Amino acid sequence: MITGGTGYIGSWIAKYLLEAGNTLRLCVRDESKTEKYDFLLEIAKENNANLEIHEADLLKLGSYDEIAKGCDEIFHIASPFSLKIKDAQKQLIDPALIGTKNVLESASKSGTVKRVILTSSVAAVHGDNKDMKDQGLSEFNESHWNKTSNIKHQPYSYSKVLAEGEAWKINEIQNNWDLVVINPSFVMGPTLSKGSLSGSIDFMEDIIKGKFAMGAPKLMFGFVDVRDVAKAHILASNNANAKGRYILAERCMSVMDMTKIIEARFPGKFKLPKMISPKLLMYVVGPMFGITAKFVSNNIGYPIKLNTTKSTKDLGLKYSSMENAIEEMIVQMTE
């Protein structure tokens, strides 16, 4: 069973599961909106795989109970990722927290589910980039947890902390299934789903439309190809010894580093920044991008490093280059 299987990350996971010939139960909010999943029906048909469509609602308790029965594994991907929100509780926290509780309780009731693979985020590992310095760390690894985000500051990150924390609590009080958590950094690359509402696509759109043309913020993220994120889920499914959390990042780089990659692959095509924007200026222009003064203070100018050894050693994940992921993403978006 998969939740969020028509989204940015989930559709790639669904694709790989269907290509391997699995029977997959796809949970959607409205079965009548076939345009949301018809591409997956086509993939299933091409691979002689069985794709079942089931209606369910993250916020409706018990709506996954019958769907989970008979399943061996559940991939719980569904959780909103948007950088442009008006009501954090309603748009981010409720779907992430209530949805996770709902799906995992159905796993416990199923009697058949042996493993749950949950998509969390590196945002559950750390909140602000400044956290690394404040905690006296040289890098973040899977043992670290974000303790600085809240509903008013970094609400998306806070939603991931709450949801993953709830998942581990539920896992501890039962013995039927084990839990593996994938913690991707900023996800890039092409989408399979035409209607994907990912903040990753919004972010790339801001860059290529010239929103940073006057100067790039000195802001650093971990980045990873969306297909590598999907492959990590498949590897976690296939590896009986997979356990705990897995941070995913091909590299950490700044917004300026990313724009240099774009310029190298698409010379002269976009209005890209030529300079780093001073931190003081970011306090002034930040609100135009929905960025608070506290975010500027705690993130701009602070380096970040993510340890991804566990993903390569335990899962055997081989990372694809970000240059190709960025190029393919932009080609698709401009087309």
What are the residue numbers of the active site? 160
Rounded to the nearest 10 degrees, how much is the dihedral formed by the CA atoms of 211, 212, 217, 223?
80
Which is it for strands 115-119 and 178-184: parallel, antiparallel or unpaired?
parallel
Beta strands in 142-272 (DSSP E): 178-184, 186-188, 216-217, 220-225, 244-248, 251-254
Is the separation of the CB atoms in 110 and 179 below 8 Å? no
At 146 the three-state DSSP class reads coil
Chain-centroid distance, C-alpha 228: 11
211-247 b/e with 16+ CB inside 10 Å = b? ebeebbbbbbbbbbbbbbbbbbbbbbbeeeebeebbb
**DSSP at 111:** S
Structure tokens at 134: 């404040």
Q: How far apart are CA 301 and CA 270, in angstroms?
A: 25
Angstrom distances, CA of residue 120 to CA of 55, 61, 222: 23, 21, 15
25 forms beta bridges with: 52
DSSP string, 291-332: --HHHHHHHTT----B--HHHHHTS---PPPHHHHHHHHHHH
